[in-house]
Amino acid sequence: MTRFAAPIAEQIWNMKYRLKDGNGAALDASVEDTWRRIARALAAVEAEPEVWEDRFYEALEDFRFLPAGRITAGAGTGRKVTLFNCFVMGTVPDDMGGIFDNLREAALTMQQGGGIGYDFSTIRPKGAVVKGVSADASGPLSFMDVWDAMCRTIMSAGSRRGAMMATMRCDHPDIEAFIAAKSDPARLRMFNLSVLVTDAFMAAVKADGSWDLVFDGKVYHTVQARDLWNRIMQATYEYAEPGVIFIDRINAANNLNYIEKISATNPCGEQPLPPYGACLLGSINLARLVRDPFGKDAGIDDAELARLVALAVRMMDNVVDASGFPLPAQAAEAQAKRRIGLGVTGLADALLMCGLRYGSDAAAQRTGDWLHAIARAAYLASVDLAREKGAFPLFDRDAFLASGTMQAMDEDVRAAVAEHGIRNALLTSIAPTGTISLYAGNVSSGIEPVFAYSYTRKVLQPDGSRTEEEVVDYAVQMWRERMGDAPLPDHFVNAQTLPPQDHVRMQAAAQKWVDSSISKTINCPADISFEAFKDVYMQAWDLGCKGCTTYRPNDVTGSVLSVSEKSDRAPGEAPDQVRGDFPAEGGEVVYMSEPLDRPTELEGATYKLKWPDSNHAIYVTVNDIVLNGRRRPFEVFINSKNMEHYAWTVALTRMISAVFRRGGDVSFVVEELKAVFDPRGGAWMGGKYIPSILAAIGGVLEQHMVQIGFLEGEGMGLKADPQAQVVGLENGRRGPACPACGSYDMRMIEGCMTCGSCGHSKCA
């Protein structure tokens, strides 16, 4: 019998986590082989590896403990990938050489699959004097553009593009430009943005006081704090960024505030980290631990939970020793502090099985109880490890116990730490779990509510046909197995029906017992008023959250998958109740218009492109079609005698031609190509700097489009694919298409757009 609770779970395992050789042949014959591979790799650093391998396997079995994707895919493979999920890079110095040294380090880290975070507050503002060169500074946003271009070119391990977080202090002189950066949907697309909000700023906001924008001791501007706060709120209201990080609160609570200062986080915000800080992630699957689900005695066994947490902590501590690191500084930082991030997933499903409505006071209380139990078990397990293997090297008993988090910890835990030390400086974090939640049987993700209880997924078959497959939430599947066709109880709610205040209440309940932070998205309805929207952030501040990320469907980011109702509601069923027996739309590739048929003959032009330092020219042929009296590009052929170019020129030919043939305004292809940055350097051509060969090809296509009248002039093409704005659902707007599988099932989950059909995510 298969261990997978749903077909999508097996598909995710096969696509993302199953070990295969270079030819694609499976080396993990079953998911049990995958668990064994991970258990053996993490037990290898133990004095008795055979004993711990079996115990680690037991923790992994039936998806009870879920190491993050980097560990699941990479442990025991012998491949040069890091098992750490997230990094914050070194402090960016305010000089050109140091800035580009940091750019190189970022590229090396993303090359091995790590998401990175940066604080750009250390770069002088735009217009500031640069001594010695008679020039004015271009400002931090200009360098963020360079990082963004670099990230586009780096394909991270596991066929995933690198994800980045950029932060900036609320008192930096360029903060207003930073806040507005994402108003251009084509700019900084590889970044998540967050403002570092201080306690002093929040006090000024509440008092309606003035606020100085300062760099290097110089006041550049003075603004009203409330006006600046409203700018942040307006930006995230309109295009979902920037997020807000309460940075002073993070530093005050940090167990290591005596030796480090935090000013940045990883891409999804759950890991505030110091320079070169790294963290590995893993989740306890609460949905698999509920006994007597939907029964009168439904609950989680405390002893079983504590035992599983202890094994998970030991496994994650071993990852510190088993993993490689992109940079020596990252390895040194990890070894000195042994930071881990143990969290949960399946929380919403577990609450449903226990008869609790997500967002209610009772659910918040139960969430706090579970997270408290996990924190206790994790800290006590780490104390036991310290007795056996030693405390983390930078442990200082008195300073550690004086930190904000430890002051709130149970007295018996504090006493144990005081007597024996602790192996890991920080232990808990709630990370995005979109893909591993699908792999575990489509359990609810992290501490998020259930997004949709079921939806239809279109699965591409080897012969090119597509079959329909229902994807059902784990708790709903459990309900069906036990209750048959009985309607779902009233406490079954989902992300579409929850008020934002319920989201904040749940985040705050969890945050009390999480020593790092939480990746969570607070879904807001499109018609929420601006004043009500601002109140969500103020509630997050007042309830003690360390940050806040919202998502409101809008014209810039598109709308998430909407779940429409059936007209055949059961008698007495509330109109806003989401039933578990109907699927949401989604999953099929939809064209803006029907693909254009190719005539027998086409007119076109061929352009010769000579790239400096290349032995052979590249020839770009563009053929056009005439529609409604207007000439438009239809296909492209790119050729070169240089065989080093063969694979990518063929791929580019096919992909661009496929886009051109679907119709619509395809000028965004030009802007995409022109933005490609080659880290090896570009070239000067025709008096302009061209950042890569691909950018040069984009320029040729643009030149052709201008000549045939398709574009009015240079730089006047679309900066983003418009298809998400012109293709709609019958009962709601359709979100952007998934770049991996083409389905219209992209959702904002835990601060990152994630595909519910295939699990693709920029951040996970």
Length of the chain: 764
> Helices 646-661 and 693-707 sit at what angle, rounded to 10 degrees?
30
Question: 197: closest CA among 218, 223, 222, 228?
Answer: 228
Q: Is the Cβ–Cβ distance between 244 and 234 less than 8 Å?
A: no
Q: CA nearest 697: which of 735, 761, 645?
A: 645
* Contact between residue 474 and residue 349 where contact means Cβ atoms under 8 Å apart: yes
373 in Cβ contact with 316 (< 8 Å): no
CB 423 within 8 A of CB 338: yes
CA distances from 527 to 475, 503, 550, 640, 745 (A): 30, 17, 14, 53, 21
Nearest to 241 by CA among 215, 278, 268, 262: 268
Taking the C-alpha atoms of residue 65 and residue 87, their distance in angstroms, rounded to an integer, is 23
Query: What is the CB neighbour count within 10 angstroms for residue 628?
Result: 5
Contact predicate 606/636, CB 8 Å: no
* Cα(733)–Cα(555) distance, integer angstroms: 10
- Beta carbons of 77 and 297 less than 8 angstroms apart: no
How many degrees, rounded to 5, is the angle at CA 539 between CA 286 and CA 547?
A: 60
Which DSSP string do the residues of 674-703 spell out, in sequence order?
Answer: HT---TT--EEETTEEE--HHHHHHHHHHH
Q: Which of 335, 356, 339 is nearest to 347 (CA)?
A: 356
Tell me the Ramachandran region of residue 685: left when phi exceeds 0, alpha when psi lies from -120 to 50, beta otherwise: beta
CA 16 to CA 22: how far, in whole Å? 14
Placement of tokens 């004043």 in the chain: 531
Catalytic residues: 266, 268, 270
Q: Closest by alpha carbon to 679, among 139, 104, 159, 257?
A: 104
Is the CA virtual torsion 369, 370, 375, 377 positive or negative? positive
